[in-house]
């Protein structure tokens, strides 16, 4: 595993969760119940923020992969 492998895996899991929420929104609402937290209603007004978060995670993942590739 690369130097940043565990971090990359965690970021990829978070990105997948965000992408599922974003895709599920469409024109409806999605109920999310995080472990240990209260249920939250996510509506389409959050879609842009979710997409931006996913894009930011993609950039972070790629940057870590590039750094790891430079040190192999």
Q: How far apart are CA 50 and CA 5, in angstroms?
A: 24
pTM above 0.75, yes or no: no
What is the domain partition of the chain in residue ranges? 5-70
Per-10-residue mean pLDDT of the chain, 72 residues long, equals 80 87 70 79 75 89 84 57
User: Given this model, what pLDDT does residue 27 score?
Assistant: 54
Q: How far apart are CA 69 and CA 3, in angstroms?
A: 9
pLDDT tens, residue by residue, 33-51: 777 888 877 776 777 788 8
């Amino acid at each position: 595993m690369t130097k940043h492998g565990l971090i990359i895996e965690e970021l990829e899991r978070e990105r997948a969760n965000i992408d599922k929420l974003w895709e599920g929104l469409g024109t409806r609402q999605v109920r999310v119940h995080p472990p240990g937290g209260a249920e939250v209603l996510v509506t389409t007004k959050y879609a842009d923020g979710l997409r931006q978060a996913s894009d930011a995670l993609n950039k972070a993942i790629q940057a870590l992969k590039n750094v790891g590739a430079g040190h192999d």
